[in-house]
A = this chain, B = another copy of it.
Amino acid sequence: MDLAVKHNPQNRGSARDFVYETLRYSILHLKLKPGTKMSEQDVSDQFQVSRTPIREVFVRLFQEELVEIYPQRGTYVSLINLRHLEEGRFVRETMEKAVIREAAGELSKSDLFKLESNLAAQEVCRKNRNYFRMLALDDEFHATIFRACGMERTWSTVQQLNNDFYRVRVLRLAHDFRWDTILSQHYAIFEALKNGEGDRAEGITQDHLRMVIVEKDELKLEYPDYFVDI
């Protein structure tokens, strides 16, 4: 494991928070592969902080199911659970359809502006084939809608249930991804929201979220040791 980062105490915020953010990001973006061993000692050496804050970070990551702690044996980056993938999808679709319906016609000028700006940024990313940033903008688009309804907490929670899905999306990033379709769907959702067409917004959202069904067998073949057997 090599993250090549050091905690700079100049940075505002505790060492704990810094390590947490860094490790979380590393796991979700597969800089730390599923199944990787991460001992307190190793990580504390990497970050140049003592083991105490590292342990506390492990507890946080454990709570989010990003790592698994085996007492006296070791702490490992969680394997991707394909069953969790389905469950996360189901929750996301159910919740987002409900939220979209609430949001239709109720968004403020400011919220609509945020969405429109986001779409413009997505255009740029698509042209430049910056898929990594595209992924972030995609999530940010949907987060904005949740936030506009005062449901940011719900968004975070749903995202947490979709941590494994996020990792799969990163895995698929290299492959030819249907960004054109995705972007046009985002436009359609935006228009429907603006015009207060709840039913239509909900319908597009359903198609949108079902588009990204992944070929599980294919994934398991390509990255055999990233997944848990079920």
A interface list, Cβ under 8 A from B: 14, 52, 55-56, 59-60, 63-64, 71, 83-84, 87, 90-91, 94-95, 98, 150-151, 153-154, 157, 160-161
Chain A: interface secondary structure? Answer: helix
Residues of chain B within 8 A of A160, CB atoms compared? 157
Known: A94-B94, A157-B157. A150 touches B59 (CB 8 A): no
Residues of chain B within 8 A of A55, CB atoms compared? 52, 56
CA–CA, A55 and B55, complex, Å: 10
How many copies of this chain sit in the oligomeric assembly? 2
Smallest CB separation, A97 vs chain B (Å): 9
CA–CA, A63 and B83, complex, Å: 24
Asked if A91 and B154 sit within 8 Å, CB to CB, the answer is yes
Asked if B14 and A154 sit within 8 Å, CB to CB, the answer is no
Give the top 6 A-B pairs by smallest Cβ distance, nearest first: A94-B98, A63-B63, A56-B59, A59-B59, A91-B154, A157-B157
Given A63-B63, A84-B153, A157-B160, 12 additional A-B pairs, CB 8 A: A55-B56, A56-B56, A87-B150, A87-B151, A87-B153, A90-B98, A90-B151, A94-B98, A153-B161, A154-B161, A157-B157, A157-B161
Residues of chain B within 8 A of A90, CB atoms compared? 98, 151, 154
CA–CA, A146 and B160, complex, Å: 18
Count chain B CB atoms within 10 A of each CB in A91, A95, A98, A161 and give the residue with the most.
Answer: A91
| Chain B residue at minimum C-beta to C-beta distance from A161 | B157
Smallest CB separation, A45 vs chain B (Å): 20
Residues of chain B within 8 A of A157, CB atoms compared? 91, 157, 160-161
Residue of B63, B71, B87 touching A60 (CB-CB under 8 A):
B63
